């Protein structure tokens, strides 16, 4: 009788020969590329072969050529850099798409220009419609003061305006909109929100956090067609930037309905993991959906929560007051008042196997969520949960270890660091600023990073985020060698957080996130080699081609300018 290992060897040899004889041909081979796979088992390669939506071979040109058949399409990448597609771990997809068509106030250099652009939009806005979007940023104005309704009332008479601050934590309404919302000098602040008043006690039109809802509840929701149009705009925008997966934070159910409609029509060209808001927790528990439920294009099973507000709106929740506002240490969100309300919902979500993605910016807001996560683990026992803190912006020194112990993922947006870095230190002082967007400290503590943008809070373009992570050069040009440069990442670390890191954050690291045989063929071909060029030039790199599941979703040469 043969020894078992000899028998096994003979069997294996037979199987290998059969494979060699009947090896199917690739649908597509990309060769002469400079591939960084983000797979430690084979980091560098020249060519990749694809069958259907999967990668079947990665390696030197001559090896991958063995997959060539009579119908195989061959793409010569001419030495360009090929990477796994980017997976943006935190976007607001529908509103991002809608904003592409709305008034753009983000780069307005003054309140006058802000008002001028709203006036121009008002002149072509039909009666009954609102002016929305905006993404204004008063820190770009001199002096950097929040705008008031007075600057836009005279140019928008009768047309209601609700333009949001770029971080989404404040909105400016004009008088017409305040009237529709019934907001007067007597309206009290809702829990977790602020109605800003002028010296005479009248609302200025600025509404912070939970107070925004007073206004948004009277804004007519987008129609099905408007919503679908916005999502189609977002899909095309993502493809043009090499973003092949997004994790959609607080989508409305109507957005998810459109994703499934597009999926059915074969038009969903970006993979989506949707995380509705936690007050809706019962909907997913009722059906029995668990984390990452669904298929490769559309998944559910996560819940988005808010612990606090934002630094820019001074509603991020800190242990100590703002350095320049001694009576203010920010706000817990309305869903954290009381904290037991959040704890009960999170316990319920966890018991049902749902994933938690929690926005937390201030050190005390982050700590409060880590406390809840720790209580859940104590109550329900250890498990592979992949809890996330979204932003994880201003860390208390004691909490890095707690992140690591609980396996919490830091879901961060590098662009915010070069944007907020312009003024953050003035608000929170040097010590707290040193633990702001602390990429390196997280990695040193073996905490996993998942990168994204928070689009439309920041641009969806991954090149700007990579640039931000490796340079930390603030947008105002005042920190060319990096704002807290010890927190910079290498380009490889940044790409890994944006591909494997964000795939891990949605339980999909075995399916995507690297160029590895067996994984989904989601890839991007770049105009320049981001791994070799001067980091300052990364922000100018653009995408030549994007593939999702082996299908070309963007081709620069065929795209119209």
Q: Give contact residues for Zn ion (rule: CB under 5 A).
A: 249, 454
Q: What is Dmax (Cα atoms) for the chain?
A: 99
Q: Which is nearer to Zn ion, 47 or 457 (CB)?
A: 457
Kindly list the distances between the CA atom of residue 260 and the CA atoms of 45, 257, 269, 558, in Å, as whole numbers in the listed order.
36, 5, 12, 28
Q: How far is the CB of 455 from Zn ion (least distance, A)?
A: 9
Q: Which is nearer to Zn ion, 456 or 474 (CB)?
A: 456
Torsion of CA 505, 511, 514, 518, to 10 degrees: 170
Q: Which is nearer to Zn ion, 502 or 514 (CB)?
A: 502
Q: How far is the CB of 279 from Zn ion (least distance, A)?
A: 16
Q: How far is the CB of 250 from Zn ion (least distance, A)?
A: 7
Q: How far is the CB of 320 from Zn ion (least distance, A)?
A: 25
What DSSP string runs through 196-251? EE-TTS-EEEEEEETTHHHHHTTSPPPPHHHHHHHHHHHHHHHHHTTEEEEEEES-
Q: How far is the CB of 84 from Zn ion (least distance, A)?
A: 23
Q: How far is the CB of 390 from Zn ion (least distance, A)?
A: 6
Q: Which is nearer to Zn ion, 38 or 357 (CB)?
A: 357
Q: How far is the CB of 454 from Zn ion (least distance, A)?
A: 4
Q: How far is the CB of 456 from Zn ion (least distance, A)?
A: 9
Q: Which is nearer to Zn ion, 149 or 165 (CB)?
A: 165
Question: How many other CB atoms are there within 10 angstroms of residue 126's CB atom?
Answer: 6
Q: How far is the CB of 32 from Zn ion (least distance, A)?
A: 39
Q: How far is the CB of 262 from Zn ion (least distance, A)?
A: 22
11 backbone dihedrals φ, ψ, rounded to 5°: -55, -45
Kindly list the distances between the CA atom of residue 327 and the CA atoms of 257, 318, 321, in Å, as whole numbers in the listed order.
45, 12, 6
Q: Which is nearer to Zn ion, 81 or 92 (CB)?
A: 92
Q: Which is nearer to Zn ion, 122 or 249 (CB)?
A: 249
d(CA 452, CA 276): 18
Are the CB atoms for 100 and 140 separated by under 8 Å? no
- By the 10 Å C-beta count (0-12 exposed, 13-18 middle, 19+ buried), 381 is classed as exposed
Q: Which is nearer to Zn ion, 91 or 538 (CB)?
A: 91
Are the CB atoms for 476 and 552 separated by under 8 Å? no
Q: Which is nearer to Zn ion, 29 or 249 (CB)?
A: 249
Q: Which is nearer to Zn ion, 176 or 361 (CB)?
A: 361
Q: How far is the CB of 522 from Zn ion (least distance, A)?
A: 23
Q: Which is nearer to Zn ion, 137 or 454 (CB)?
A: 454
d(CA 411, CA 89): 7
Are the CB atoms for 114 and 147 separated by under 8 Å? yes
Q: How far is the CB of 243 from Zn ion (least distance, A)?
A: 16
Non-local (6+) Cβ contacts of 545 within 8 A are 524, 525, 552, 554, 555, 556
**Which residue's Cβ lies closest to Zn ion?**
454
Non-local (6+) Cβ contacts of 264 within 8 A are none
CA-nearest of 177, 121, 175 to 150 is 175
Q: Which is nearer to Zn ion, 50 or 249 (CB)?
A: 249
The answer to whether the Cα torsion of 202, 205, 208, 212 is positive or negative is positive
Are the CB atoms for 245 and 270 separated by under 8 Å? yes
**Strand intervals (E) in 7-151:** 28-31, 34-36, 44-45, 47-51, 54-59, 73-76, 81-84, 86-91, 103-104, 133-136
d(CA 274, CA 373): 21
Rounded to the nearest angstrom, the gap between the alpha carbon of residue 64 and the centroid of all alpha carbons in its chain is 34
């Amino acid at each position: 009788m043969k020894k078992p290992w000899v028998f096994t060897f003979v069997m294996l040899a037979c199987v290998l020969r059969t494979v060699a004889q009947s090896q199917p041909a690739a649908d597509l081979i990309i060769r002469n590329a400079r591939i960084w796979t983000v797979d430690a088992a084979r980091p560098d390669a020249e060519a990749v072969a694809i069958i259907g939506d999967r990668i079947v071979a990665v390696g030197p040109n001559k090896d991958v050529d063995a997959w060539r058949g009579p119908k195989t399409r061959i793409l010569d990448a001419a030495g360009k850099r090929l990477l796994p597609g980017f997976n943006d771990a935190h976007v607001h997809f529908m509103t991002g798409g809608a904003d592409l068509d709305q008034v753009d106030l983000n780069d307005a250099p003054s309140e006058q220009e802000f008002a001028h652009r709203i006036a121009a939009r008002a002149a072509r806005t039909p009666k009954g419609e609102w002016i929305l979007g905006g993404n204004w940023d008063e820190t770009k104005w001199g002096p950097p003061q929040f705008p008031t309704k007075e600057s836009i009332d005279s140019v928008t008479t009768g047309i209601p305006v609700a333009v949001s601050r770029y971080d989404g934590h404040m909105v400016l309404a004009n008088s017409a909109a305040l009237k529709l919302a019934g907001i007067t000098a007597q309206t009290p602040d809702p829990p977790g929100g602020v109605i800003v008043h002028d010296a005479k006690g009248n609302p200025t039109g600025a509404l912070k956090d939970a107070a925004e809802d007073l206004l948004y509840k009277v804004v007519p929701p987008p129609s099905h067609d408007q919503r679908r149009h916005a999502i189609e705009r977002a899909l095309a925008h993502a493809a043009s930037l090499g973003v092949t997966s997004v994790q959609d934070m607080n989508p409305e159910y109507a957005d998810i309905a459109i994703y499934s409609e597009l999926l059915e029509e074969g038009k969903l060209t970006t993979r989506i993991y949707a995380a509705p808001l936690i007050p809706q927790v019962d909907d997913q528990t009722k059906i029995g959906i668990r984390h990452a439920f669904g298929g490769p294009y559309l998944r559910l099973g996560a819940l988005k929560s808010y612990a606090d507000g934002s630094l820019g709106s001074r509603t991020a929740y800190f242990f100590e007051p703002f350095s320049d506002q001694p009576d203010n240490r920010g706000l817990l969100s309305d869903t954290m008042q009381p904290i037991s309300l959040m704890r009960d919902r999170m316990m319920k979500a966890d018991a049902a196997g749902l994933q938690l993605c929690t926005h937390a910016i201030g050190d005390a807001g982050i700590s409060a969520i880590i406390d809840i996560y720790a209580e859940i683990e104590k109550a329900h026992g250890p498990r592979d949960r992949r809890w996330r803190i979204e932003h994880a912006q201003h860390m208390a020194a004691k909490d890095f270890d707690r992140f690591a112990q609980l396996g919490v993922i830091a879901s961060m947006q590098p662009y915010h660091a070069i944007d907020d870095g312009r003024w953050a230190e003035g608000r929170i002082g040097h010590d707290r600023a040193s633990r702001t967007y602390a990429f390196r400290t997280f990695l040193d503590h073996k905490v996993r990073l998942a990168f994204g943008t928070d689009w439309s809070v920041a641009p969806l373009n991954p090149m700007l985020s990579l640039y931000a992570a490796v340079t930390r050069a603030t947008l105002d040009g005042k920190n060319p060698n990096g704002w807290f440069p010890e927190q910079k990442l290498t380009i490889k670390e940044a790409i890994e957080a944006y591909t494997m890191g964000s795939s891990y954050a949605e339980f999909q690291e075995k399916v995507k996130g690297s160029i590895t045989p067996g994984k989904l063929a989601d890839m991007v071909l770049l105009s320049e080699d981001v791994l070799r060029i001067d980091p300052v030039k990364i922000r100018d790199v653009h995408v030549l081609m994007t593939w999702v599941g082996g299908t070309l979703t963007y081709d620069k040469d065929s795209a119209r300018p």
